[in-house]
Amino acid sequence: MSLPTSTSDLAPEWGRCLAACLGALGIGALLLLAFMIVVDPYDSGKFGLLGIDGVDDRDTHTATASRARDARFDSAVIGNSTAQMLDPAELSRATGLRFVQLYLTGGSPREQLAVLDFFMRNHQRVGALVFITDPWWCAHDRAEPAPGRFPYWLYGKSSLAYAARLISWPAIEHASQRISIGFGLRKRTDPDGFFSYEDIWLPGTFRETNRPRDPALAVTAAGRDIFPEVSQLDDVIKKLPASVPVVLLVPPTFYTTVAIPGTAEGVEREACDAALRRVVAGRPHSNFINYRIDNALTRDPANFADFIHYRPSIAARMVEGIAASFQLGQAARIDF
Amino acid sequence: MLFNDYPFLLVFLPAAILIYRLADPHPRLRIWTLVLLSLAFYGYGNPPFVPLLVLSILINWLAALAYVRTKATIVITTAIVANLAVLALFKYANFLAYNVGLVLGRPMPVLDIALPLGISFFTFHHIMYLVDLRKGKAPTYSLDRYALYIAFFPQALAGPLARWSQVMQQFGRQVYAPGWQREFCLGISFIAMGLFEKLFLADRIGQIINPVYAQAQLGPVTNGDAWLALSFNFQILFDFAGYSDIAIGLGLLFGVRLPVNFNAPFRSTSIQDFWQRWHITLMLFLRDYVFNPLVNTRILPRRFFPVQYFFAMMLTMALCGLWHGASWTFVLWGILHGCALVLCSLWRRYGPRLPSLLGWVLTVIFVLVTGVIFRAGTLDVAWHIFQGLAIPPNLERWRHLLPIFIVPLMAFLLPASQDIIELLTRRPRPWLAALVGIGLLALLVDLGERNVYEFAYFNF
């Protein structure tokens, strides 16, 4: 068995073949890239010449970029699906600001920080920020990101890294959706990003799933106060003008998953709460609220879809707490 | 650096072609240019192992020179033992320590060492050359030529295991000589074919069966999906054949014709036939450097020659299994294939002639079933898969798993990729070349959407 060998010396014809092959590859790639740059399939703001408004995308990892740079909003809710039920329209009504929902399904703190960075780069004036800090924020080790899980290239500063990712089937699909929006053949998804999971997890049902993923206990007492991602959030918040209100929330979970004070888990929780509280300490109109407590509301399964996803009844209380915090800061009375 | 990744395809390869184009008119620069490019390729993401590769080249080259000067066979023996010792240290030390610990009833210390990419392959390249040098078949070569034989980037990480005699004289030839355009067309065709096999066939099967093997780690696969696990051999066929085709294509772009590695193995009508079509260069190595010496050395009295012959066959296949990785499942897989080869030999001598179709069916079933042991990693996982075969497949769900049907059909029906390419490149057809260009673009687009899957043979 051997490779095919040349039986004729047809160099000019083979030269034409080579030119045809490389020409088709090169010209095809250039045309495709040019099309992508003109359309900007993810509405990232890095490219795009057609002025198409928004995306039709239910994948929060990619759709959030379009929302995060939308000039109609000046304030943001950032978190993962435990932030999803906070209705930005309700928050806007309660605070007078213009809120957009920037939750990432299954989003890790590192990913949420990437979204925050992108939001701040695209808004010269930030109205307010609400951060939903679920247990992942309390990890003592900064986990390496899983490759390919989150499109950091979409939220990063580099246009080149973004352009390199535009030669892909999903990008082509997104581009065709954007073209359809441009021609009025398809509606864009709601710009404020609110999507109630009650459409899927119907009211009145409680599934014993999604236990909160509390991080591993610190190995040493000294390590208990180290929260790398909270520190990173602190660095970012410190760069914001003091006039920008920031509220950090620990989302409520079903009471059986609340750490009991005095236990090792309880001590860990208190250490993380203290670290989060320090991020907004002294900042006007800002607050830290821990909703992960054992009370009548968190004992009622009707208030939860599962262990970590709360219903609108609790979300409404949280909106009230956020609005009160924006007015009175840490002196706000939290009714929960 | 992976052949199926943007950094290689869009940066390293175009840069390497350009640099070599500049070196090509200068005969003295050609080989060294390729050596340096190969070391850069090897060092990308793997820099700590570059000194190991360079040392390995230098020591073996010096050993060859010393042998030629002194004619002391101990030099060659020592060099071969040293090569095998380095391979054993990196690849088998922890396996050995673990098993010694089991025997002694206490855990042994574990070495925290990574397996250098391609160590199995460059060790075998050294051994092939040194053995032939001792037999008087191989001459000595200059350092640059020997270094390129070991490190030539298209074949350095996972073969094909080219003999020194197949490639040494090709190194340093002028690439951009009359007719180079056809070689480039051939090379690009092989690369496109290899990427297609890897991305559209092997990885698609991998996406389907990886969750099944993950499930088997937890317990028996009782949902009818265990049957999917049987298609592992189709995945590894197109994974490694794809890699080999890309390597051959890359070789052609730099003026080197590497040997082919696969010849439509799933069209084999016996297990002997299968092993003449699967990983051909490894099997030729094992035949010439393991099996033949074992058979030709007088160990048992002449009348027991068949026993020695079959023992050599079994041992060769067990070593073939162990070469793939430090695990008893690999050894078991090799022994099973050794048994099948012995059985096949005996049948051919004493049994009735099997119809080709029956031979094909038996061969395919045997290869697919033993493939589960190869892939499983542990006997428990393999057993969990086999237990799951008692439950009928969920064909309703499989309707959505098109690759499970298409990929095996391609393995059964299509000729070897080199035959397909020969057919397509018998005469120049610019329209077909343009289609290949568009196909390459589609492959690059496909690469852009997902994580890059490493080639399976990088682990061996």
Instruction: Please give the structure tokens belonging to residue A197.
Output: 């999971």
Question: Mean pLDDT across chain A, nearest whole number?
Answer: 91
* Residue B13 pLDDT: 94
Question: Which tens digit of pLDDT belongs to each residue from A266-291?
Answer: 999 999 999 999 999 999 999 999 99
Question: A120 and A85 in contact (C-beta within 8 Å)?
Answer: no
Distance from C-alpha of B122 to C-alpha of B130, rounded to nearest angstrom: 12
H/E stretch holding A23 reads: helix A11-39
> Could you tell me if B450 lies within 8 Å of chain A, comparing CB atoms?
yes
A332 secondary structure, DSSP code: -
Query: What is the crossing angle of helices B73-104 and B50-70, to 10°?
Result: 130
A185 secondary structure, DSSP code: S
User: Which residues of B are the active-site residues?
Assistant: 324
CB contact under 8 A, B449 and A169: yes
Residue B30 exposed, middle or buried by CB count within 10 Å (0-12, 13-18, 19+): buried
Encode chain B (460 residues) as per-residue pLDDT tens digits.
Answer: 778 888 888 899 999 999 999 999 999 999 999 999 999 999 887 788 899 999 999 999 999 999 999 999 999 999 999 999 998 888 888 888 888 888 888 888 877 777 788 888 899 999 999 999 999 999 999 999 999 999 999 998 887 989 999 999 999 999 998 889 999 999 999 999 999 999 999 988 998 899 999 999 888 888 888 899 999 999 999 999 999 999 999 999 999 999 999 999 999 999 999 999 999 999 999 999 999 999 888 887 888 888 899 999 999 999 999 888 888 999 999 999 999 999 999 998 898 888 999 999 999 999 999 999 999 988 999 999 999 999 888 877 777 778 888 999 999 999 999 999 999 988 899 999 999 999 999 998 888 766 545 555 555 5
> Which pLDDT band, with edges at 50, 70 and 90, does A83 fall under?
very high
> Could you tell me if B252 lies within 8 Å of chain A, comparing CB atoms?
yes
* Residue A164 pLDDT: 84
Residue A132 phi, psi dihedral angles, 5° rounding:
-100, 105
Instruction: Please give the structure tokens belonging to residue B1.
Output: 């650096």
Task: For B393-446, give the DSSP string.
Answer: P-HHHHTT-HHHHHHHHHHHHS--HHHHHHHHTSS--HHHHHHHHHHHHHHHHH
| Nearest alpha-carbon partner for A290 in A304, A305, A275, A301 | A275
Q: At residue B351, what is the residue type?
A: G
Distance from C-alpha of B47 to C-alpha of A252, rounded to nearest angstrom: 48
CB contact under 8 A, A169 and B445: yes
* Residue B46 pLDDT: 78
| Nearest alpha-carbon partner for B294 in B272, B317, B327 | B317
Closest approach of A96 to chain B, Cα-based (Å): 41
Q: Which residue carries 């993401």 as its tokens?
A: B45
Question: The pTM is what?
Answer: 0.81
Interface test with B, best of A1, A17, A153 (most B CBs within 10 A): A17
Strands across the sheet containing A246-250: A99-101, A75-78, A129-132, A246-250, A287-290
Contacts of A3 in chain B (CB under 8 A): 186, 248, 252, 257, 260, 418, 422
Contacts of A170 in chain B (CB under 8 A): 449
Distance from C-alpha of A327 to C-alpha of B396, rounded to nearest angstrom: 58
Return all residues near A28 (Cβ < 8 A) that are at least 6 apart: B437, B438, B441
Cα separation values, B331 from A235, B95, B337, B378, B444, Å = 55, 12, 10, 11, 38
Residue B349 exposed, middle or buried by CB count within 10 Å (0-12, 13-18, 19+): exposed
* Residue B452 pLDDT: 44
Distance from C-alpha of B192 to C-alpha of B145, rounded to nearest angstrom: 29
Kindly report the number of other CB atoms within 10 A of residue A9's CB atom.
11
Closest approach of A165 to chain B, Cα-based (Å): 6
- Hey, which residues 70-109 in chain B have their CB within 8 Å of chain A? none
- Reported in sequence order, the residue ranges of A192-321 that DSSP labels E, i.e. its strands, are 246-250, 287-290
Q: Which residues pair with A129 in a beta bridge?
A: A76, A246
* Residue B374 pLDDT: 92
CB contact under 8 A, B185 and A21: yes
> Could you tell me if B26 lies within 8 Å of chain A, comparing CB atoms?
no
Cα separation values, B88 from B278, B325, B326, Å = 25, 11, 10
Distance from C-alpha of B182 to C-alpha of B178, rounded to nearest angstrom: 9
Task: For B116-135, give the DSSP string.
Answer: PTTHHHHHHHHHHHHHHHHT
